[in-house]
Structure 1
Amino acid sequence: MTSPQHIFLKYLSKKGMAATEQRRVVLEVFLKSKGHFSYKELYIQVREADSSISSVTVYRTVKLLDKCGIAEAIDFGDGITRYECRYNRPHHDHLVCTKCGKKIGVVDDSIENLQELLAEKHGFSIKRHKMILFGICSDCRDS
């Protein structure tokens, strides 16, 4: 399996962009992060590793990580783009509570199979997908 560092370096090279030390630091911090986070939240973590890295560098680098397939941008309907690592992590869908904002990653083989059947029925080859279901979590329903 190709490492995320190699994937990123290859992408930068293909686009004629420099593989800077700051981009490397952002990548390493990103790969260690868990869950869904905005670039501003990532920036706070990056600053702990290297205080000389600007928020603009983090913003631009996370966009590059999304474009090369290491990260995935997700909009949970609150106006904030969040990112999660796609590299070497299993696919999952999301349930989002519209009251408290809780986000739950879910995997359901029957849904995945249905999506494949739908694609096949329409002669479509799925490369990737996102499914986000919005509703009220049990905690909010019970309160």
Structure 2
Amino acid sequence: MTKSRDAVHEILRQSTGFRSAQDVFAEMRADGSKIGLTTVYRALQSLSDAGRVDVLRTDEGESVYRACQSESHHHHLVCRHCGLTVEVAGPDVERWAEVVGAEHGFTQVTHTVEVFGTCGSCASAVSAANA
């Protein structure tokens, strides 16, 4: 891993949630790094390709990144309000993807599933505010 990729990965490992490339870039620059935004994007893509970071698209279409918590294939349950993200297994989704692919003559099927909702804490806060 290059020095830049290692530095980007370290920022993500220290983060509690998903971060945009611009956010990682801004933090690195604030810490005195001379890294460029293009280098951050390349590092994130390389880390993603290597399976070292999770990537998801927000409702606004922006890609956000986080250091993987799990080595195995997984999906995410993401709170739309606070960004809390939980890694979840999806054996039913895995079987469904294989069956649908096979039904249409596809092999080596891959997929990405992100489920968005409202976490319990945010739901409670909204309920309390509306009471």
Q: Do Structure 1 and Structure 2 share a fold, with TM-score over 0.5?
A: yes
Deviations 1:24-55 (A, max 9, x none): 22211234333532112322454478622233
Contact 2:97 2:109 in 1 (8 A): no
1:108 and 2:90 aligned: yes
The offset of 1:131, in angstroms, is: 0.7
**Is 1:89 matched up with 2:71?**
yes
Equivalent residue number for residue 128 of structure 2: none
How many residues were matched structurally?
A: 118
Aligned with residue 36 of structure 1, among 7, 15, 18: 18
Structure with larger RCO (C-alpha < 8 A, sep 6+): 2
- Which of structure 1's runs of 4+ aligned residues deviate more than 6 A? none
Measure the CA separation in 2 of the matches of 1:49 and 1:128.
38
Residue 16 of structure 1 corresponds to none
Change over 3 Å in CA distance of 1:127–1:27 after alignment to 2: farther
In 2, distance between residues paired with 1:28 and 1:46?
A: 12
TM-score scaled by structure 1? 0.62
Q: In structure 1, which of residues 104, 111, 117 is the aligned counterpart of residue 99 of structure 2?
A: 117
Gaps of 5+ in 1: 6-23
Q: 1:72 and 1:96, CA in 2 relative to 1: closer, same or farther beyond 3 A?
A: closer
**2:60 equivalent in structure 1:** 78
